[in-house]
Amino acid sequence: MNIAIVGTGYVGLVSGACFADTGANVTCVDVDAAKIDALRQGNIPIYEPGLDDLVVKNMKAGRLKFTTSLADVLDSQQIVFSAVGTPPDEDGSADLKYVLQVARTIGRNLNKYVVVVTKSTVPVGTARKVRAVIQEELDRRGVDIPFDVASNPEFLKEGSAIKDFMSPDRVVVGVESEKAKKLLTKLYKPFLINNFRVIFMDIPSAEMTKYAANSMLATRISFMNDIANLCELVGADVNMVRAGIGSDGRIGRKFLYAGCGYGGSCFPKDVKALIHTADGNGYSMEVLKAVERVNERQKSILFEKLCRVYGADGLKGLTVSLWGLAFKPETDDMRESTALVMIEKLLDAGCSLRVYDPVAMDECRRRVGDRVTYCKDMYDAVLDSDALLLLTEWKEFRLPCWEVIAKAMNNRVVIDGRNIYDAEELEENGFKYLCIGK
């Protein structure tokens, strides 16, 4: 089977490598020539465990190719996936510029039937726009070539993208013809060994499913953060509450961790976009608006706690250490990360910052410049520090040697934004320990 995937970002590259690994002939397309050159040499532009090996293996096997020109390869494709970016506009709506550009290229160069599948997260109604743009170009050329559009939102998570793609809970596909359904069933067949389901539906429902899923997950997090903040006031422990409610099968155990806020490329963007879609339809998503507000506040909750320790006017001149800069472990992605909010707040308050992340140091340098001190490891980061703030729960932060840290720090204060440490152990080592929801 021959498929092209346009856009070699997270979703595009992972999908391309995974489809190729099941035997499909995949051509990944990107307008960024430097990126395509690098990929041809096996240099992967993003950090994702296992991705380099998978790309190189399938390239060597001849099943994964890279090009800058969709037009050149279009004739040999049965399916074209569009996995280009949909950055938020200033008003929070998804910018469809790139998605529609791909549609235009297809319309201008199409010579035989193809299914055009949108994998990018796009608002309801986008497939219809894609269809219209392709048709417009075909009409302009005066040709009549049949094609189908489809929607296949992607649910993979950064950091476990390959595993998520290879054994998904489900695959959602919105189609409008039997022919497209047949082709997509064939493409996803190799994954059926892993016992998952392909759920076929109409296109608007598929487009909506992705936003609803991410918004539901973001809602769970903000809800738990709200509960956590209340737990602190009434003397309850959010970890106990989580265990208590998570064992109810209707609620489930996953995605109930209180912390210092959610970030990343998806939740913040998708929640905003859904609110915007609703507003545009004369409906107000009250729950989601609150989800956003709670998350905004939660990103500075560690700052509030630090103020509680040192007094709001007592932060000036302090040295503060940050462990974890990426929005979550196993990625170098800092989009919408809590670290970005905390860095600005702490610098504004007159603190000096010593920061460390296992992989996001370059990314942080790019975004923040030399206003903070980049440390060579987690122990270097706590040198002469007045407070250690844990923002991202990387594995290597889970079992630190507290004796060493106690000696290195100027003041023994640990504020744990992901609830991974044992209060008793820290207190035994003379630390003042604060966490979330306890």
For ligand UDX, the binding residue among 196, 200, 223, 255 (CB under 6 A) is 255
Label residues 24-44 b or e (16+ Cβ within 10 Å = b): bbbbbbbbeeebbeebeeeeb
Stretch that binds ligand UDX, among 47-55, 84-92, 155-163, 307-315 (CB under 6 A): 155-163
According to the binding rule CB under 6 A, does residue 256 interact with ligand UDX?
A: yes
d(CA 111, CA 310): 69
Tokens standing for residue 196: 């998952």
For ligand UDX, the binding residue among 47, 147, 211, 267 (CB under 6 A) is 267
User: Residue 148: phi, psi to the nearest 5?
Assistant: -125, 150
Stretch that binds ligand UDX, among 244-252, 257-265, 364-372, 378-386 (CB under 6 A): 257-265
Measured from the CB atom, the residue of 22 and 160 that comes closer to ligand UDX is: 160
Residues 293/336/162/14 CA torsion (nearest 10 deg)? 120
According to the binding rule CB under 6 A, does residue 417 interact with ligand UDX?
A: no
Measured from the CB atom, the residue of 327 and 374 that comes closer to ligand UDX is: 327
Please list every residue from 84 through 123 that binds ligand UDX, using CB under 6 A.
none
For ligand UDX, the binding residue among 63, 65, 299, 328 (CB under 6 A) is 328
Q: DSSP alpha helices (H): ranges in 89-202?
A: 97-109, 126-141, 161-166, 178-188
Tell the smallest beta-carbon distance from residue 333 to ligand UDX (Å): 8
Tell the smallest beta-carbon distance from residue 210 to ligand UDX (Å): 8
For ligand UDX, the binding residue among 266, 320, 349, 435 (CB under 6 A) is 266
Q: Which residues contact 271 (CB under 8 A, 6 or more apart)?
A: 214, 215, 218, 288, 291, 292
Tokens standing for residue 331: 């990625």
Number of residues that bind ligand UDX (CB under 6 A): 19
For ligand UDX, the binding residue among 156, 320, 342, 346 (CB under 6 A) is 156
For ligand UDX, the binding residue among 57, 104, 129, 157 (CB under 6 A) is 157
Stretch that binds ligand UDX, among 36-44, 149-157, 174-182, 372-380 (CB under 6 A): 149-157
Stretch that binds ligand UDX, among 79-87, 150-158, 201-209, 273-281 (CB under 6 A): 150-158
Q: Which residue has tokens 């966490």?
A: 435
Measured from the CB atom, the residue of 171 and 256 that comes closer to ligand UDX is: 256
Per-residue interface string for the shown chain with ligand UDX, residues 164-203, x marking contact by CB under 6 A = ----------------------------------------
d(CA 156, CA 136): 33
For ligand UDX, the binding residue among 262, 303, 356, 402 (CB under 6 A) is 262
Number of Cβ within a 10 Å radius of residue 163 = 14
Tell the smallest beta-carbon distance from residue 37 to ligand UDX (Å): 27
Query: What single-letter DSSP state applies at residue 193?
Result: G
Give the residue among 219, 275, 250, 416 at the shortest CA–CA distance from 227. 219
Helix (H, G, I), strand (E, B) or coil at 108: helix
Active-site option among 18, 28, 231, 266: 266
Amino acid at 135: Q
Measured from the CB atom, the residue of 160 and 429 that comes closer to ligand UDX is: 160
231 a catalytic residue: no
Give the residue among 318, 395, 382, 330 at the shortest CA–CA distance from 356. 382
Tokens standing for residue 13: 């590259």
Number of Cβ within a 10 Å radius of residue 383 = 15
d(CA 352, CA 382): 12
For ligand UDX, the binding residue among 106, 221, 271, 390 (CB under 6 A) is 221
According to the binding rule CB under 6 A, does residue 129 interact with ligand UDX?
A: no
d(CA 93, CA 96): 9
Number of Cβ within a 10 Å radius of residue 425 = 11
According to the binding rule CB under 6 A, does residue 358 interact with ligand UDX?
A: no
According to the binding rule CB under 6 A, does residue 397 interact with ligand UDX?
A: no
Give residues in contact with ligand UDX (CB under 6 A). 154-158, 214, 217, 221, 255-257, 259, 262-264, 266-267, 327-328
- Give the residue numbers marked as catalytic: 266
